[in-house]
């Protein structure tokens, strides 16, 4: 299955859907960056057949026995009835947030003795005909492996981009030290952690949500460590580059001279423009070929935005569809055009602690207990989350005629359900009893940046031409470094293109799944029923 999937998804990383088929441009307007080559908007080639799908399966013991959910605290009915008299008078608008929904199929546990993987069903509520797709569960550890691979793909791209520019700018000096010798230390990638994210566009817009909800953002993808030497192998940035045969002096510069008298500065120098020097103690070059320096870096920028960018996208596909990642079953949904789909996988683990759910009940109580209009939410937060253990009679107060806490669609008390989006990955029985699922998602964004982005990275990886100056004493001369800045690249190397991001989204059952649109590229129904 996965080699065939990789071929198809490589195309999806570049383009997708009817928009590409029609020939319309999919590249948004990007800011003008120095010496950035034009990048044609690519069209989706025909996808190969995705036959030979192997039935996914889980390791023994992947589905834990149902852990113990705690008995919710008893709520004072009198206090709850008083609280129900105020608040809850307005309902949010869910018209744009309830198209793609999931539910747990009743037959899910019946297929486990057959050695197949559990799954959930996703529905397109606005599509007629075949509008349900079965999506297999993956192990959380498998999603972490995929996320690590996505992170490493970008780090490889960023590292080779910088070293290609640096070596090409300082060829032949760095060609000799970096391309004839391999100074790489390997990618220094930190362990990826699961971060369940919620953005404002995921939840309903309502006064009882705004200002209270704990929104957060996915991990930033960049180098985890910056060093003044390469992390990738020399072939990653030296391939296709030849050593310059012309001498750098006088092709690139003529060194300046400062005179000393037995080691003491005389203040007499023969030098040129000092506006782009970095060493104030050394003379500036008499002449510096700035046009040639710019040309060399521009060649590297073009290389990064053509060959390296394509290989970056190939690396992402390999990370997502890795045959060695046995318990990860990604489903490409529609395309990976930015804003038009994602690779999706519901995930589970073997944790049986209810603490995240009890903590969520405490969080809601603390946020909403301070005002009369929201006090009923505070009183019923924990009883609502654990109603599968014991249904408190105070929960029915949310259905009173004066309140709009419960809507025809989506189900449940909408405010409590929206807070389930903050819950972490847990075991499958807990997810079903509490009523939510956590999805790993990989998706593309258009990125325009100057690399490296971090302050530390910019400090450790400036792009400089390594010129020299001369200190001339009475009896001897000493060469001293005088690195020269290229003004257009002082803030970093320009990048404008796709970056693949990842995160985890928890979704209440019956509520909208972010980023899911259209239809999946493949279907698992025949192999997991």
pLDDT in tens, 307-345: 999 999 999 999 999 989 988 999 999 888 898 899 999
SS3 140: helix
Contacts of residue 392, Cβ cutoff 8 Å, sequence gap at least 6: 72, 74, 75, 380, 383, 384
Does residue 336 fall inside a structural domain?
yes
Q: What does the pLDDT read at residue 328?
A: 94
User: What DSSP line would sit under 67-89, residue for residue?
Assistant: -PPPPPPPP-HHHHHHHHTSS--
* Domain, as residue range, for 165: 107-248+289-351+425-450+488-512
The distance from CA 130 to its chain's CA centroid, rounded to whole angstroms, is 32
Does residue 42 fall inside a structural domain?
no
414 close to 407: Cβ distance less than 8 angstroms: yes
| List of E strands, 6-88 | none
Q: Quick one: 236 and 166 in the same domain? A: yes
pLDDT-based confidence at 56, cuts 50/70/90? low
375 close to 83: Cβ distance less than 8 angstroms: yes
Q: Quick one: 204 and 266 in the same domain? A: no
Task: State pLDDT tens for residues 197-213.
Answer: 999 999 999 999 998 99
Q: What does the pLDDT read at residue 528?
A: 73
Q: Quick one: 187 and 227 in the same domain? A: yes
Q: What does the pLDDT read at residue 55?
A: 54
Q: Quick one: 282 and 294 in the same domain? A: no
Q: Quick one: 171 and 276 in the same domain? A: no
| Closest C-alpha among 175, 328, 273, 275 to residue 485 | 275
Does residue 238 fall inside a structural domain?
yes
Does residue 155 fall inside a structural domain?
yes
Q: What does the pLDDT read at residue 271?
A: 96
249 close to 255: Cβ distance less than 8 angstroms: yes
Q: What does the pLDDT read at residue 420?
A: 98
Task: State pLDDT tens for residues 485-506.
Answer: 999 999 999 999 999 999 999 9
pLDDT at 18 > cutoff 50: no
Angle between helices 140-169 and 309-320 (to 10 degrees): 160
CA atoms within 13 A on the CB side of 173: 12
Does residue 220 fall inside a structural domain?
yes
| List of E strands, 14-75 | none
Q: Quick one: 335 and 277 in the same domain? A: no
The distance from CA 222 to its chain's CA centroid, rounded to whole angstroms, is 10
Task: State pLDDT tens for residues 259-308.
Answer: 999 999 999 999 999 999 999 999 999 999 999 999 999 999 999 999 99
Q: What does the pLDDT read at residue 63?
A: 59
Handedness of CA 309, 310, 316, 322 (dihedral sign): negative
Residue 444, Cβ density class (10 Å: 0-12 exposed, 13-18 middle, ≥19 buried): buried
How do strand 477-485 and strand 264-270 relate by DSSP bridges?
unpaired
Does residue 162 fall inside a structural domain?
yes
Q: Quick one: 183 and 263 in the same domain? A: no
Q: Quick one: 219 and 336 in the same domain? A: yes
Does residue 128 fall inside a structural domain?
yes
Task: State pLDDT tens for residues 363-411.
Answer: 999 999 988 999 999 999 999 999 999 999 999 999 999 999 999 999 9
pLDDT at 40 > cutoff 90: no
Q: Quick one: 177 and 269 in the same domain? A: no
Please compute the mean of the pLDDT values over residues 463-481 and round it to a whole number: 96
Please compute the mean of the pLDDT values over residues 103-111 and round it to a whole number: 64
Does residue 195 fall inside a structural domain?
yes
Rounded to the nearest 5 degrees, what angle is found at the Cα of 500, between the Cα atoms of 209 and 1? 110
pLDDT-based confidence at 34, cuts 50/70/90? very low
pLDDT-based confidence at 152, cuts 50/70/90? very high
Q: Quick one: 127 and 199 in the same domain? A: yes
Percentage of the chain exceeding pLDDT 90: 75
The three-state (H, E, C) secondary structure of 347-377, written as one string: EECCCCCCHHHHHHHHHHHHHHCCCHHHHHH
CA–CA dist 467, 433 (Å, integer) = 67
Q: Quick one: 155 and 117 in the same domain? A: yes
447 close to 496: Cβ distance less than 8 angstroms: yes
Query: How many domains, in total, are found in the chain?
Result: 2
Q: What does the pLDDT read at residue 82?
A: 95
CA–CA dist 2, 16 (Å, integer) = 19
Q: Quick one: 281 and 295 in the same domain? A: no
């Amino acid at each position: 299955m996965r080699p065939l999937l990789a071929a198809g998804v490589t195309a999806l990383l570049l383009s997708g859907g009817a928009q590409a088929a029609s020939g319309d441009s999919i590249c948004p307007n990007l800011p003008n960056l120095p010496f950035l080559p034009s990048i044609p908007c690519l069209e989706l080639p025909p996808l190969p057949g995705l036959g030979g799908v192997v039935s996914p399966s889980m390791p023994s013991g992947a589905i834990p026995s149902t852990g113990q959910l705690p008995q919710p605290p008893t709520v004072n009915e009198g206090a709850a009835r008083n609280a129900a008299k105020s608040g809850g008078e307005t309902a949010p608008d869910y018209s744009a947030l309830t198209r793609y929904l999931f539910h747990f199929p009743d037959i899910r546990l019946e297929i486990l003795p057959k050695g197949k993987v559990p799954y959930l069903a996703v529905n397109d509520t606005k599509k007629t005909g075949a509008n349900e797709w079965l999506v297999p569960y993956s192990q959380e550890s498998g999603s972490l492996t995929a996320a690590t691979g996505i992170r490493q793909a970008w780090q490889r791209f960023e590292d080779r981009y910088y070293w290609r520019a640096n070596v090409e700018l300082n060829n032949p000096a760095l060609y000799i030290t970096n391309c004839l010798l391999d100074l790489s230390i390997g990618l220094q990638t930190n362990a990826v952690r699961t971060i369940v994210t919620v953005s404002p566009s995921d939840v309903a817009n309502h006064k009882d949500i705004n200002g209270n909800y704990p929104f957060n953002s996915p991990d930033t993808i960049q180098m985890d460590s910056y060093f003044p030497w390469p992390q990738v192998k020399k072939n990653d940035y030296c391939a296709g580059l030849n050593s310059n045969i012309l001498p750098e002096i006088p092709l690139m510069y003529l060194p300046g001279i400062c005179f000393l008298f037995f080691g003491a500065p005389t203040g007499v120098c023969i030098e040129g423009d000092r506006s782009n020097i970095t060493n104030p103690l050394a003379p500036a070059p008499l002449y510096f070929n700035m046009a040639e320096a710019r040309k060399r870096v521009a060649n590297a920028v073009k290389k990064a935005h053509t060959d390296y960018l394509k290989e970056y996208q190939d690396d992402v596909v390999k990370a997502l569809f890795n045959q060695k990642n046995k318990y990860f079953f990604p489903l490409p949904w529609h395309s990976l055009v930015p804003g038009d789909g994602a690779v999706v996988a519901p995930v589970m683990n073997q944790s049986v602690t209810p603490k995240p759910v009890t903590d969520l009940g405490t969080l809601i109580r603390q946020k909403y207990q301070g005002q009369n209009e929201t006090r009923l939410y505070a009183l019923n937060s924990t009883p609502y989350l654990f109603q599968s253990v014991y249904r408190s009679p105070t929960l029915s107060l949310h259905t009173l005629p004066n309140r709009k806490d419960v809507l025809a669609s989506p189900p449940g008390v909408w405010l409590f359900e929206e807070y389930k989006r903050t819950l972490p990955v847990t075991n499958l029985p807990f997810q079903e009893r509490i009523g939510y699922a956590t999805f790993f998602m990989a998706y593309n964004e258009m990125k325009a940046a100057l690399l490296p982005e971090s302050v530390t990275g910019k400090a450790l990886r400036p792009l400089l031409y390594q010129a020299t100056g001369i200190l001339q004493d009475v009896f001897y001369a000493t060469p001293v470094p005088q690195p020269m800045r290229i003004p257009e690249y002082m803030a970093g190397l320009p990048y404008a293109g796709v970056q693949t991001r990842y995160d985890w989204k928890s979704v209440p059952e019956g509520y909208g799944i972010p980023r899911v649109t259209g239809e999946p590229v493949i279907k698992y129904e025949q192999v997991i029923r």
